Amino acid sequence: MEAYYLGDKTYIRIYMTVYDDKGGYPTHKDIWQDREGHIVIFPARSRLWVGFGSPRRQLEFAYKYRNQGRNKAHSNIALIRSFLVDSKVAIPILENAVPERFTANAFDINVDQSKNPNQFEQSTELLRQNALSGSLVPYFMDRKRLLNVNIDSWGIVKPIEDLREKVAYPDPDILLYDSQTTSYPSHLSTKDRQALVALKVYMIDT
């Protein structure tokens, strides 16, 4: 769990994947911050699927969105937005969440357990009201496209490779290979090799 201690408060970082950023006013789900650093969530007064304290599920979606863009012959800039939420709100969400298949209207939280259990449906207003101002960190894929997006509202921008290395997430631009092989492609970084060893899966470059 990714936690931050600031003064007498503890914050949990949450993550959400965005299919594209076209530089204008968001027409779909997105997270910005205003000039005072206040977190702004689109669409307002709705619900979002987010991950608490770990970005692995969001990394899966980010590369899925990128590949969908490639298949549709357009260049979307898939990215991951993240910000800090007061643990007094985040911890009860984690403790009270129920599997999606058991969800009824009486439950406020859903849990997607099909691949990674760290995927929660939550109220945008609850997250916004308990977000730490100035904590927005977006992780992007395409450095060149940054010239055409709304950087002022992005917060502290970082490359998505930083996030992959942080959680030892293997390079997704490589294909599944024989798990018994002892050789590695020369382009793999040391951290990627360590991640693949941990997963007991070896891969080759596309």
Could you tell me if 73 and 137 lie in one domain? yes
Could you tell me if 44 and 93 lie in one domain? yes
Check if the beta carbon of residue 202 is closer than 8 Å to that of residue 181. yes
Could you tell me if 137 and 37 lie in one domain? yes
Looking at residue 206, its pLDDT comes to 30
Instruction: Please state the domain count of the chain.
Output: 2
pLDDT in tens, 36-49: 999 999 887 788 88
- 132 vs 69 pLDDT, higher one: 132
What's this model's pTM, rounded to 2 decimal places? 0.75
Instruction: Give residue 193's domain range.
Output: 170-206
Average pLDDT, the chain: 76
Secondary structure (3-state) at 25: coil
Alpha carbons 105 and 182: distance in angstroms, whole number:
51
Could you tell me if 55 and 32 lie in one domain? yes
Q: Which amino acid is at 180?
A: Q
Q: Confidence class of residue 134 from pLDDT cuts 50, 70 and 90?
A: very high
Q: 43 to each of 40, 146, 157, how far by Cα in Å?
A: 9, 23, 22
Could you tell me if 126 and 177 lie in one domain? no
Alpha carbons 90 and 9: distance in angstroms, whole number:
12
Q: 105: buried, middle or exposed (CB in 10 Å: 19+, 13-18, 0-12)?
A: exposed
Say yes or no to pLDDT of 112 above 70: no
Could you tell me if 13 and 91 lie in one domain? yes
Secondary structure (3-state) at 13: strand
Say yes or no to pLDDT of 110 above 70: no
pLDDT in tens, 6-19: 999 999 999 999 98
Alpha carbons 199 and 129: distance in angstroms, whole number:
38
Could you tell me if 197 and 118 lie in one domain? no
Say yes or no to pLDDT of 175 above 50: no
Check if the beta carbon of residue 165 is closer than 8 Å to that of residue 139. no
